[in-house]
Structure 1
Amino acid sequence: MQENTMTAEHTESAESIQTSIIKYDPEFREAAQAIFDSLDPEAQKRAKIVGLMNAAYVGSKPRDSRLDLAFQAIIENVAATLFGRAGKQRAMMVVGESGSGKTTAIDWHIAKRPQFAPRKNAHGDWVKNLVFMEPEKPLTIKGIARSGLKALGYPLDDTTRMTAQELFDLWKVQLRENQVLYLWIDEMQHVLKGETTKEIQDVADILKSLVQLNGWPIHLILSGVPDLAKFIHLFGDADGQLKERSNLVELLPLVYPQDRKRIEKIIIETVTKHAGLLLGDDVLAKPDEDAEQPKTDGKPPYKFVLSEDFVHRVVHASKGQFGSIIQKTRSACENAMRLGSDTIRKANFAAAYAAGGCRPSQNIFLSPDWKNIDPDHSVTELVARKRGRGVAAVANATTTKKKTK
């Protein structure tokens, strides 16, 4: 096997910080402990590595720097009210495609800031500074208000006969009484699935109302796919108020070869630091491969460790999405460990990709024609072939779907 010649530059991406372990219900932890106790020592060791690996936050300086600024802005904006008036920007939006890692990034940035943690108020009662909610679909005034009340622990049985406006008014009262300062609403793009334009506009008006709540302005964290930005521009900008009150952070996909260095660091860090595995010779750069970047800022050139072909396949299989690259690498590590190997190889990535559902001919890590494979269609082709319909049927179905949009 080719030797792993890595420096601190390859394994320390500043960007990896251990998150706190997720808090599960005591009864669930008791059941999980019973399962853990039933495992043999090797399986227990794997379970521990997998748990710690999945709890590790793999970040990126460019992404996290933008998020730091946005979060600091809404924190300091609340404090600014002590000395006059808060600024108008009381909402931050984090948008990215599925698999971009936006929820994980937001969760980590919230967890590391004490300003979002519960606190004791002047009466000695514990209150939540921040509340998380994922509203019902499609988003309507009634749906978002009920979801908001549920997130506050309010009994919904008492609200069955309330009108939409009554529910919204109750929600605003409860937000104030519970002394909530920040509200994180995830999957906000579902508002665009409203049945009428008026319903969508009503939700936009609700958000504007919350950030302007008299005496108790709520600061919003809105997250979702890029359609969320479309919602703000189309429906929240009738009078310019929602747009000018929002700070947008877009998590863009990584692109090959421009982001090759960042992608390589993600893979190496996950494999060697989090999973404790070695890198196999079939994923390493070959000696004759042009593997150096030009010298910049007085620093020595960065020497690539992973092969160009392998990194490009990982990016393509993940559609460039930051979180998907991490998840596919973790799945490949799990596959290697369960096979009793201390080394990660391309075959482990192929197995992890196949677990999502695809035929060998559609496996990006196996096919010589991998650049022409659409990751979104791998499962579709598998299902179609099992039904005896073939690739042509998949193409027809895809074309029909596009026409009906």
Structure 2
Amino acid sequence: MSIETRLAAVDRAADKYFPTERDDQFLLRLNRLLARDRDGNPIASPRKDRGTGEAQGLFVIEAAGGGNTSLVKNGLKEHPLLQSNGEGHMPWIMLDAAPSPATTKALGLDILYKTGYRDVSNRETEQGIWKLLKHRLVLLNTVFVCIDEGHDLLGAASPFEIRNMQKRLKNLMQGEGAVSVILIGIGELQHLAAYDDQINRRYQKLAFDDISPVRDARLLKGILHTMCAEVAIDAPKEPDLIERLVHASRRRFGWFIKNTLRALEIAALAGASRLEKVHFAEDWAIQEDAEVGKNVFLSREWSKIDLSEKPLPPRSKKGC
């Protein structure tokens, strides 16, 4: 197999989704947000509180690099009740990131654009934008509105803006055209609920654990072998590679996948017949710019290498 063919295979492997038990957990939560028919089967409509008539939302929380964005997008895309039946039907909408700056007007505009509506002026009032958005969600029979990097809705906003943001999200889950709101983010996302007990009660929480080289050994080894097979390269044999790779990935599933893909690319470029530790080490040197003694894939004391995030240095004053 030529190098070009292998590189093309690496690209195809990057598009492959690897389901895990995490997907089952998300599906369970997703179905709990859906209304049920008389037989207890979920239907394509948000489940509403019998007392208030309001839909409920979901916080999906995991450290950066965990892969929760891909998980949520795949779960929504593959759910049998959330398939679009054509133009004018949009069961779910996913915003790839919170707007910057994260104002309620900007958020309303971004979601409105995602519905396919473009005929709105930036001079439109905030109230007018959200009223139009609610109307669009009714027309499109939307069930879920999902916002990635939901923690950025906090950002550096003032307490007033944060409360206003909460009210707007709450409004999406109320009245005619109510939808379930899913916010994806890191641990800071939980602070969004801390401002208001009612908001806290409106959102279920789904937090994922870090991966473990012991508990998840079979799963991770299987994924590694599958990815190698996709590229027609033999899987590595080094007994401690999974442990090193998990440590290098900060115990995060998404980074485990990305680190493996980059190592496979290096192996393909080298014309290697087997993926080996040296390919991961080369990628680590490129990505982390670390000396040999701090290279997780080369050091004998790799488990002692501190990979915790360091705070950014303070900005120097102008003129200094």
Question: TM-score normalised to the size of structure 2?
Answer: 0.85
Matches within 5 A, 1:54-133: 54-61=14-21, 63-76=22-35, 79=43, 90-120=56-86, 126-133=88-95
SS of corresponding position for 1:126? coil
Could you say which residue in structure 1 is the equivalent of 2:273? Answer: 342
Pick closer, same or farther for the CA change 1:398–1:108 going to 2, 3 Å: closer
Is this contact kept in 2: 1:140–1:203, CA < 8 A? Answer: yes
Instruction: Determine if contact 1:360/1:366 at 8 Å carries over to the other structure.
Output: no
Amino acid at match of 1:57: Y
- SS in structure 2 at match of 1:58: coil
* Number of residue pairs the alignment of both structures matches: 306
1:243 is matched with 200
Q: Cα deviations across residues 324-349 of structure 1 (Å, max 9, x unaligned)?
A: 11111121112111111120110011
Per-residue deviation, 1:75:
3.4
1:227 maps to: 188
Separation in structure 1 between the aligned mates of residue 70 and residue 11 of structure 2, nearest angstrom = 15
Determine the C-alpha separation between the residues in 2 that align with 1:374 and 1:80: 47
Q: Is the 8 A contact 1:135 1:148 kept in 2?
A: no
Post-superposition offset of 1:82:
11
Find 1:205's aligned residue among 154, 163, 167.
167
The counterpart of 1:140, out of the listed 103, 107, 112, is: 103
The one-letter amino acid of 1:333's match is: L
The residue that corresponds to 1:358 in the other structure is 289
Task: Tell me how far 1:176 sits from its aligned partner.
Answer: 2.1
- Superposed, 1:13-92 pairs within 5 Å as 42-61=2-21, 63-76=22-35, 79=43, 90-92=56-58
Q: 1:93 to 1:314 in 2, by over 3 A?
A: same
**Change in CA separation of 1:180 and 1:373 when aligned onto 2, cut-off 3 Å:** same
How far is the alpha carbon of 1:74 from its aligned partner?
A: 2.5
8 Å contact 2:76–2:92 — kept in the other structure? no
Partner of 1:13: none
Structure 1 unmatched runs, 5+: 1-40, 284-306, 378-394
Match in the other structure for 1:270:
227
What is the Cα deviation at residue 258 of structure 1?
Answer: 4.0
Structure 2 equivalent of residue 260 of structure 1: 217
- Runs of 4+ in structure 1 over 4 Å off: 80-89, 397-401
Paired position in structure 2 for 1:153: 116
Structure 2: distance between partners of 1:185 and 1:92: 11
Question: What amino acid maps onto 1:221 in structure 2?
Answer: I
Higher relative contact order (CA 8 A, sep 6+): 2
Cα distance, 1:400 vs structure 2: 5.5
Change (3 A) 1:399 1:137: closer
| Distance of 2:308 and 2:100 partners within structure 1 | 24
Specify which of 162, 165, 178 is matched with residue 124 of structure 2.
Answer: 162
3-state SS in 1 of match to 2:64: coil
Q: Contact 1:130 / 1:180 at 8 angstroms: preserved in 2?
A: yes
Asked if 1:185 corresponds to 2:142, the answer is: no
Alignment partners' CA distance in 2, 1:144 and 1:356: 34
Distance 1:138 1:259, change over 3 A: same
Change (3 A) 1:399 1:88: same
User: Is contact 1:172–1:210 with CA below 8 Å preserved after alignment?
Assistant: yes
Distance 2:222 2:252 in 1: 15
Change beyond 3 A, Cα 1:266–1:185:
same
In the alignment, the residues of structure 2 paired with residue 324 and residue 82 of structure 1 have an alpha-carbon distance, to the nearest angstrom, of 33
2-structure distance, mates of 1:373, 1:81: 49
Report SS of the residue matched to 2:181: strand
Q: Which amino acid aligns with 2:201?
A: E
Contact 1:317 1:364 in 2 (8 A): yes
Cα RMSD between the aligned structures?
2.8
Report how far residue 210 of structure 1 moved.
0.7
Q: Which amino acid aligns with 1:220?
A: V
Unaligned runs of 5+ in 2: 37-41, 316-320
Mapped partners of 1:46, 1:52: distance in 2: 10
Work out which of the two has the higher radius of gyration on C-alpha atoms and give 1 or 2: 1
Corresponding position of 2:305: 373
Deviation at 1:236, TM superposition (A): 3.9
Q: Tell me which protein shows more helix as a share of its residues.
A: 1
Cα–Cα, structure 1 residues 348 and 49, in superposed 2: closer, same or farther, change >3 Å? same
1:329 to 256, 260, 264: 260
